Amino acid sequence: MPRLTKDEESINFRCRSYGFEPKTVYILTRILLEAYRELKAGFHPNAPVVVLSPEQVTFKKQEMRRKVLRR
CA–CA gap between residue 45 and residue 37 (Å, rounded) = 15
* Distance, CA of 63 to CA of 13 (rounded, Å): 32
Residue boundaries of the structural domains of the chain: 6-70
CB atoms within 10 A of CB 4: 12
Q: What is the pLDDT along the chain (71 residues), one digit of tens a residue?
A: 578 899 999 999 999 999 999 999 999 999 999 888 888 777 777 878 788 899 999 999 999 888 877 76
Check: CB of residue 12 under 8 Å from CB of residue 4: yes
* Whether 35 contacts 68, CB under 8 Å: yes
H or E segment to which residue 3 belongs: none
What is this structure's pTM?
0.54
